[in-house]
Amino acid sequence: MTQNFETQKPDEYAPGPDLRSYGRRHGRRLSLRQERLWQGVLSRVAVDLAKPLELGSGEIWLEIGFGGGEHLVWQAARNPGVLLIGAEPFRDGVIKVLDRIEAEGLGNIRLHADDVRPLLRWLPAGCLTRVFILFPDPWPKKRHVKRRLVAGRLFALLFRVMAPGAELRISTDIGDYARTMLLALREHRGFVWQATGPEDWRSRGSDWPATRYEGKAIAEGRRCYFFRFRKMCP
Which is more confident, 131 or 153?
A: 131
Q: How far is CA 184 from CA 58, 65, 154, 169, in A?
A: 31, 19, 10, 15
pLDDT value for 188: 85
Catalytic site residue from 11, 92, 137, 176:
137
pLDDT digits (tens, 9 = 90+) for 91-108: 999 999 999 999 999 999
pLDDT value for 141: 65
Average pLDDT of every residue of the chain: 86
pLDDT grade for 143, boundaries at 50, 70 and 90 = low
Query: 11 an active-site residue?
Result: no
pLDDT digits (tens, 9 = 90+) for 145-173: 676 888 888 999 999 999 999 999 999 99
Instruction: State whether CATH 3.40.50.150 applies to domain 19-48+56-231.
Output: yes
pLDDT digits (tens, 9 = 90+) for 178-193: 998 999 888 888 999 9
Where are the domains positioned within the chain?
19-48+56-231
pLDDT grade for 216, boundaries at 50, 70 and 90 = very high
pLDDT value for 135: 94
**Once rounded to an integer, what is the mean pLDDT over residues 39-48?**
93
Which is more confident, 40 or 61?
A: 61
pLDDT value for 10: 37
- Cβ neighbourhood burial of 46 (10 Å; 0-12, 13-18, 19+): middle
> To the nearest 10°, the Cα dihedral for 173, 176, 181, 186?
140
Neighbours of 147 (CB within 10 A): 16
How many residues does the structure list for the chain?
Answer: 234
pLDDT value for 19: 52
d(CA 18, CA 11): 16
pLDDT value for 153: 86
Strand order in the sheet with 60-64: 109-112, 83-87, 60-64, 128-134, 162-172, 225-231, 191-193
pLDDT value for 2: 40
pTM attached to this predicted model: 0.86
What sign does the dihedral 197-164-171-142 (CA atoms) show? negative
- On whether the CB atoms of residues 7 and 190 are closer than 8 A, the answer is yes
pLDDT grade for 31, boundaries at 50, 70 and 90 = confident
pLDDT digits (tens, 9 = 90+) for 44-69: 999 999 999 888 879 999 999 999 99
